[in-house]
Amino acid sequence: MNFTSDNAAGMHDDVLAALAQANPGHASSYGADDLSRRVEERFAEIFERDVGVFMVATGTAANAVSLAAMTEPFGGVICHKEAHIVVDECGAPEFYTGGARLVGLPGDGCKLSPDTVSDALASYSSANQHSIQPRVLSLTQATEAGRVYTVDEVSALAEVAHERGLSVQMDGARFGNAVAWLDCAPADITWRAGVDVLSFGATKNGCLAAEAIIIFDRVKADEVRFRRKRGGHLWSKARFLAAQFDAYLANDNWLKWAGEANARASELSTGLSLLNSVEIAWPTEANEVFAIMPKELKTRFEDAGGAFYAWPGEPPRPLASDEVLTRLVCAFSTTPKDVEDFLSKAV
């Protein structure tokens, strides 16, 4: 009954098997191996076009390396004020970009709106040499609050960005969960909607440590290539990054596994919402449930062996002193029984 994070899960058996299968014999190092080629081709199929693919081990690396190739040091990255790049990466974006600024904006459910972005951009001007210059719009898909941007929403946001000369980065640490929810073509929610670079997450959804920077437009792949190495993120035994993706992308596993996690979250959300004392904070769209509950109930769950965290982000409404905003995350490996068992502890 561990709902602390999808990071608390291990890897899918298929991923482990892929590592074992890739292990014997020699392979060219640093990404010159056949498996890496195959993964790159698979990504091109998935996104229905040529893409640049740069595999790394962590989401922070994927985001920070990408952003560094998208803005000069005097630039700004427009994002939600509770975005992972702001709150949870210890300043990695600032480090990799050489000190660009994260401009955090508000938005319910950790979603940005075109108007909010547009208003923020209006206060900057390239004529003002005293000010940092916005260069990137960063969207998190699914958001930190478990919400999913629709194709129309991403398109509208990207249009605002592109009109002002910004490029668009998508932090897709839970991209699989978002696409599984949207049930759309990956191309539709990314480059066709105006996304230029995607952090395609896999770790949280069943891999050991695997994220891919997917470059569509407006960014030079060479920049990313050198910056990845310079950041220490080029694996020597790169076949073991590729092997994870090979299993992850095969047979739409990434969508199936994400779909499982989403289904569990939906069940959990429904179950919690049936409790009188619990209020679901934001619609449960991906694999995370945000619930406002009595502190007493949280303690009861925990005493019964349930594990989940209070969420430090801004709640959708002011909380009473005996209430707490909580986050419960389901992983690819969470079972219906895990959810049932947990819910059974509420009473």
In the region spanning residues 66 to 85, those forming contacts with a second copy, defined by CB under 8 A, are 72-74
Does 30 sit near a second copy (CB under 8 A)?
yes
Q: How far is CA 142 from CA 48, 135, 150, 165, 258, in A?
A: 22, 22, 10, 24, 12
Token duo for residue 327? 């986050």
Does 7 sit near a second copy (CB under 8 A)?
yes
Does 216 sit near a second copy (CB under 8 A)?
no
Does 232 sit near a second copy (CB under 8 A)?
yes
Token duo for residue 285? 């769209």
Interacting span for a second copy (CB under 8 A) from 36-44, 65-73, 273-281, 296-304: 65-73
303 CB-contact burial (10 Å; exposed 0-12 / middle 13-18 / buried 19+): exposed
Kindly tell me which of 90 and 347 has the beta carbon lying closer to a second copy: 90
Kindly tell me which of 226 and 300 has the beta carbon lying closer to a second copy: 226
- Residue keyed to tokens 């429904």: 270
Does 116 sit near a second copy (CB under 8 A)?
no
- For the stretch 162-198, what's the b/e string if a residue is b when 16 or more beta carbons lie within 10 angstroms of its beta carbon? bebebbbbbbbbbbbbbbbbbebebbebbbbbbbbbb
Does 209 sit near a second copy (CB under 8 A)?
yes
Site string for a second copy, 89-108 (x = CB under 8 A): xxxx-xxxxxxxxx------
CA angle 205, 259, 51 (to 5 degrees): 60
Amino acid at 272: L
Under rule CB under 8 A, which residues in 157-186 are in contact with a second copy? none
Kindly tell me which of 87 and 184 has the beta carbon lying closer to a second copy: 87
Does 318 sit near a second copy (CB under 8 A)?
no
Q: How far is the CB of 26 from a second copy (least distance, A)?
A: 4
Interacting span for a second copy (CB under 8 A) from 7-15, 37-45, 106-114, 138-146: 7-15
Under rule CB under 8 A, which residues in 235-294 are in contact with a second copy? 235-237, 239-240
Kindly tell me which of 20 and 274 has the beta carbon lying closer to a second copy: 20
Nearest by Cα to 68 from 213, 273, 172, 283? 213
Q: How far is the CB of 212 from a second copy (least distance, A)?
A: 14
Instruction: Give the count of residues interacting with a second copy (CB under 8 A).
Output: 78
Nearest by Cα to 144 from 285, 338, 265? 285
Does 234 sit near a second copy (CB under 8 A)?
yes
HEC secondary structure over 236-265: CCCHHHHHHHHHHHHHHHHHHHHHHHHHHH
Token duo for residue 317? 């409404």
Q: Which of 37, 123, 296, 335 binds a second copy (CB under 8 A)?
A: 123
- Residue keyed to tokens 């972005």: 117
Q: Which of 34, 50, 163, 230 binds a second copy (CB under 8 A)?
A: 230
Kindly tell me which of 84 and 192 has the beta carbon lying closer to a second copy: 84
Distance CA 290, CA 191 (A): 29
Does 136 sit near a second copy (CB under 8 A)?
no
> Hey, which residues does 76 pair with through a beta bridge?
101, 134
Nearest by Cα to 158 from 181, 192, 200, 120? 192
Do 114 and 156 touch, CB atoms closer than 8 A?
A: yes
Q: Which of 229, 256, 295, 300 binds a second copy (CB under 8 A)?
A: 229
Does 2 sit near a second copy (CB under 8 A)?
yes
Kindly tell me which of 31 and 194 has the beta carbon lying closer to a second copy: 31
Does 125 sit near a second copy (CB under 8 A)?
no
